[in-house]
């Protein structure tokens, strides 16, 4: 492909920005200063821009700590979407994997790897999603039993077995302690919910079936991918190679 397209696709800058870099002599191909932004390169060439090696990456993977008040969509005429939190030159072909409600916060995987997204979301792949939920009333052992047995929602939808862990005195001992400390409301109204499906408003409707209202919802993990406790709400970072590798391993669960 053309050198300027390669550099733009690898997120070095927009097509016009990378052309300027080439003209300034800041791009090298196999050690030689490139003169023509339109020169032909392949993934086998060693390409450097401003002294940094720009390896070929087929796909891009980001973890977003979604804030409340933002739509999980790629674009919307009126409302801010999760992709609006990314600079324009990174947005090409990116989509969120699954959906969080507008008022739900926490982990959202964003990628241009459609095949991986499809596998992670396929109901038969059984990828666990863990949420921290705050409810208006304390969660009971009866609720735990009903979640485990598989709830039937008000519209008759029958759900798979789900995990429900009441968070009380031992909150600090939980591996997700960092997140729990920041959740609002009394501790005894907090619980960890693990679901394998991703039905519309699923957790809210599950609690509703138990006579409770969800007042706070944060996704903590999706399969092996855990929300980085150092990532502030509204910010994103690239996944590490290890995180990508582990997520790709989720495929074998199919
Ligand atoms: N369940 C819900 O009810 N809402 C979400 O955003 C995610 C799961």
Q: Are 28 and 47 in contact (CB under 8 A)?
A: yes
CATH topology of domain 61-237: Pseudouridine synthase (3.30.2350)
Cβ(202) to ligand 1 under 6 A?
yes
Cβ(109) to ligand 1 under 6 A?
no
pLDDT tens digits for 176-230? 767 776 666 665 588 999 999 989 999 999 999 999 999 999 999 999 999 999 9
Q: Tell me how far apart the alpha carbons of residues 4 and 10 are, in angstroms, rounded to a whole number.
A: 10
Q: How far is the CA of 116 from the centre of ligand 1 (A)?
A: 21
Q: Tell me how far apart the alpha carbons of residues 49 and 202 are, in angstroms, rounded to a whole number.
A: 46
- Please indicate, yes or no, whether the overall pTM of this predicted structure exceeds 0.85: yes
Ligand 1 pocket test: which of 217, 221, 227 has the largest number of ligand atoms within 8 Å of its C-beta? 217
Of ligand 1's listed atoms, the one at least distance from the Cα of 99 is 6
Share above pLDDT 90 across residues of the chain, in percent, rounded to a whole number: 81
pLDDT tens digits for 135-180? 999 999 999 999 999 999 999 999 999 999 988 755 655 667 677 7
- Residue 210 CB contacts under 8 Å (≥ 6 apart), including other chains: 139, 140, 142, 143, 146, 151
Q: Are 37 and 23 in contact (CB under 8 A)?
A: yes
Catalytic residues: 101
Q: Tell me how far apart the alpha carbons of residues 231 and 243 are, in angstroms, rounded to a whole number.
A: 15
Q: How far is the CA of 254 from the centre of ligand 1 (A)?
A: 23
Q: How far is the CA of 109 from the centre of ligand 1 (A)?
A: 15
Location of each CATH 3.10.290.10 domain in the chain:
3-53
Q: Which CATH class is domain 3-53?
A: alpha beta
Location of each CATH 3.30.2350.10 domain in the chain:
61-237
């Amino acid at each position: 492909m053309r050198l300027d397209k390669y550099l733009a696709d690898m997120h070095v800058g927009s097509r016009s920005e990378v052309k300027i870099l080439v003209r300034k002599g800041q791009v090298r191909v196999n050690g030689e200063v490139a003169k023509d932004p339109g020169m032909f390169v392949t993934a086998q060439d060693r390409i450097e821009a401003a002294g940094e090696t720009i390896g070929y990456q087929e796909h891009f993977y980001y973890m977003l700590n979604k804030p409340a008040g933002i739509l999980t969509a790629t674009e919307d005429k009126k409302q801010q979407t999760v992709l609006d939190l990314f600079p324009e030159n990174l947005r090409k072909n990116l989509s969120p994997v699954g959906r969080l409600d507008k008022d739900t916060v926490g982990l959202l995987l964003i990628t241009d790897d459609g095949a991986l997204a499809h596998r992670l979301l396929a109901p038969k792949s059984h990828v666990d999603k863990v949420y921290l939920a705050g409810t208006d009333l304390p969660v009971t052992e009866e609720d735990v039993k009903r979640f485990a047995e598989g709830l039937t929602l008000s519209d008759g939808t029958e759900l798979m077995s789900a995990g429900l862990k009441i968070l009380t005195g031992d909150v600090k001992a939980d591996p997700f302690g960092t997140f729990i400390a920041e959740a609002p409301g009394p501790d005894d109204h907090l619980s960890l919910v693990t679901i394998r499906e991703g039905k519309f408003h699923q957790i809210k409707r599950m609690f509703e079936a138990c006579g409770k209202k969800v007042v706070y919802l944060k996704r903590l993990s999706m399969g092996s991918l855990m929300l980085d406790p150092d990532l502030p709400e509204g910010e994103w970072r690239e996944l590490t190679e290890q995180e990508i590798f582990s997520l790709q391993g989720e495929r074998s669960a199919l």
